[in-house]
Amino acid sequence: MKVFVAGGTGVLGRASLGPLVQGGHRVLSTARGKEKAERVFRLGAEPLECDLYDRDSVRRSIAGCDVAIRLTTKIGSLTTLRKPDAWAETNRLRTTGARILVDAAIAGGVSTYIHESVTFVYVDGGSDWLAENAPLDDRGSAILRAAIEGEQEADRFTQSGGRGIVLRFAGFYGAGAPSTLEMIAMARRRLLPQIGRATNYFSSIYVPDAGRAVAAAVSAPAGIYNVCDNTPVTLAAHLRLLAAAVGAKPPLRLPGFLGKLMFGGVWDYFSRSQRISNTKLKEATGWQPLVKSVREGWPLVASELRERAPAQDSQRAA
């Protein structure tokens, strides 16, 4: 099939292009500038310039495609997450950008639309497993409200006669993710503390497994699917495992009231207990996460970064 990917040069996009190409698809990906275009080409896809807010540009880009995939986000540094404007562009991409893409896909006869979303939209589930039918709660957050609103575009696509698919991703981590590198740097400086008891479950997904899930979803029935690993751990365990994997001291412990001060509105859902189930996606597509939990994932990331370090040092020396 011919597949159009909006956001193919981002963390999730780069992880998805290879599996899509390996699945036998002809893949076109948005790419701004020569450097990003070359990156897309190296992954086996075809780069193209596209203004995702320009309806004519999007229509031209997806002409003749069977599948349209939206993986567009623009999230800044962890230190800026508490600032509302840090999420403005991501919110716009998830709503306005999705609406323009779905309009073009419907008009162009595209059969399948895949929409990136997040598992943070679920309520606090305590120790219960949360499947795709669990209640949602935006808690007044513009970030989560935009995520939920954006998902409605996939439903609109299905109602038009196509196959709309929502992928709700858990927290990303991987050696190629800037947020992961930032977390590791903060952990080594003991700037990534445990706030409060941190007994809430925090679900995660290793970035390459997330990319494989995108490719698997091309054949999934219409609907919503969680993308996460098999064994979520508590936030306290997550932070300890990260610190141990990278040789950092255990995280400092701070009182719970500091969470809101440090992370702003983001803390409202970081502190929720979300033990997410991936059963539906596995049963629908046969996808399985190769990294079952952060217990094995964080040591894997640390090992990958150690292997990359000599090559990066050689490049700098040259």
The model's pTM: 0.94
Cβ–Cβ under 8 Å, residues 287 and 213: yes
Report pLDDT for 317.
44
166 burial (CB, 10 Å; 0-12 / 13-18 / 19+) is buried
Q: Topology of 2-305 in CATH?
A: Rossmann fold (3.40.50)
Each residue's pLDDT, cut to its tens digit, for the chain (318 residues) gives 999 999 999 999 999 999 999 999 999 999 999 999 999 999 999 999 999 999 999 999 999 999 999 999 877 666 666 666 777 888 999 999 999 999 999 999 999 999 999 999 999 999 999 999 999 999 888 889 999 999 999 999 999 999 999 999 999 999 999 999 999 999 999 999 999 999 999 999 999 999 999 999 999 999 999 999 999 999 999 999 999 999 999 999 999 999 988 888 788 888 999 999 999 999 999 999 999 999 999 999 999 999 987 655 444 444
Domain boundaries, the chain: 2-305
Kindly report, residue by residue over 3-38, the tens digit of the pLDDT: 999 999 999 999 999 999 999 999 999 999 999 999
Q: Is the separation of the CB atoms in 180 and 302 below 8 Å?
A: no
157: its two tokens: 């696509």
**Any alpha helices (H) in the chain, and if so which ranges?**
11-22, 33-42, 55-62, 88-92, 98-107, 142-159, 178-188, 207-217, 235-245, 258-263, 267-270, 279-285, 294-317
pLDDT of residue 77: 67
- Give pLDDT, residue 46: 97
